[in-house]
Structure 1
């Protein structure tokens, strides 16, 4: 049997049509089987991941891989446990398929329904992060979508080990063959990006170079984000202890994540009151601060530890457009809320941005005016995550302004269709001097 990219895409398309008719119970049973098979194969998969990590270390030593990418590649015990938990969390969510979101009586015996349905075929391309295979398989199957997965070459061993287990587990379920397929070469991806007649949506999970390359080389709609350039604005009335805790978490909880903070904006009056405590907390955690002249001067004249004052760096304009993905943060003072919002809307990637303030009015203004998928008040940007939102897991985070935005869970993997149920009516039956539309909401829908 040929496994050319065209055949892979065509097989996925055919499988997606069958998958739409698979019951929610059977889809749940498939996820249970996948979970059990992965749990049973933990030792073999983690051993495969260690091989990838050893190869990655050689690339890091040779200056050919960033440490942040290796962190994403590492399948730690906590990631493994989270991956398994995510599969069951997704399984136990409400079935997203076939939900009636609108019901209108156009006329007696002419009823209109809007129902949720799968998108069809997903092509998901990701770098590192081998747990993504299980996450996306769970979300795709639960939402009734077929999926083609392509992992990065740096995760080849992990990818292959997990993929083998998933495929074998699904073979004994009601999921049609071809609903989950895996490809390994870059050439396959290039060819798949041309299959717009079979593939409905591309979801890239990786750095900005990957995302931009995909967007420039396909006619298929692309959902995702290029950068995670997140900012936190510290207003003049921010609580010192609260601000230090939130910024520390947003920067250091997982620096290589796309929802880690990269830019710290500080109200000029807070540069001498709140910033020193934040800076001290960050510096003690090993974070490098790249400061604009005003913030650097404020810290130099503060009670900050003299040793810490010596390692403050000067920020460049480029720093405020950089996703560091490591223990580095750019610091800038602003005159107030308006300038902070202008800066964020000009430099942010539209991912997640936060404000620290004790004023509800100021916070509401910030959250209404900042044009990002996530806008937070007095909490860490690290909360921008499908699992933390209660989605079970996520297929990715979208900064698009159509369909899904922010962490994309099951809802983001469904669209809708309209069903009109009549009794021989024609459009010409309605109009001036003829029948009039009722347009009445149907209560207690049963179809």
Structure 2
């Protein structure tokens, strides 16, 4: 039943995932291989270049995606920033293994080549790269597995891929959706690693036969080119969207985004490209500010405290007015009329605890809060009108507070 319902989506998002991984790997190899060769010729630059590549890989992936939103040309939301981020993460194993592979060749072999009158280029192409190829391909295998895993985060910036299922599953507490993204991603990673392992063994055996080696390299590159072309053609068969609507990464936002998208499609001739689950307020705000999405549903209280950096006030009309003026004058963004509903938070505890302590209100919960562990979303913990204000007003002193993804707290 699940496969019948989501089978087509799984194929489409798997195709998107493969496009992201293959293109980013191709770019990473085209950059990483020359850089790795370069630092074997300039040993003094090896440490800083490898250090920089290593530093990039230690940066959390979501932080890279968020940073790229505001970067001109290469940034924004969608597949381009996702490919840029994946390329950055794939560079280290390729550069490092190219450097190690060439430097690990027996110096006597290099000296023999030089003694035969080989130029540096001939020595590189005919001796060093063929002998270092197993180590280089091992680096490509590592980069591939890393890219397949990190590509799931691309869904947070509208890049598509199998992460769409994972974020939807977390938001709706649906394990089937999570598995629909995680299992195909694992299959892709294992298949790619297995395939590259076979390629590594086969090419290593054929290195001595230069003609056959070059022929097989040509065949492999041709197959990869055909796969990329086919996936791109399959992925972009749909009619181009005329307007892009986004949402943040929790259930209410996805529902509001879908309502907005349906309203636009029902009352205009525009086709809506839905870019939901775009991470938190920062990513959605930067996306609309950069013109990467046409709009999303925002909360005036969130804008007032997070974007305007103002102290919270309780008058909704005053908040709306100040937010609208700021967006109009400072950000050149239009704030539409309110949708007519109030977003109110409520604290949830287990029924047995409520009965045991006879708790019916937040005021009554304060007395027993030291015996409780609590979980809240990231933004709620940071905002002054979130947990800091709530705990001060109701004297809440929880024994332990966890920052959690909203979909996992339930």
- Short-chain TM bin: under 0.3
Relative to its length, the structure with more helix (as a share) is: 2
Bigger relative CO (Cα 8 Å, ≥ 6 apart): 1
Larger Rg: 2
TM-score, reference length from structure 1: 0.24
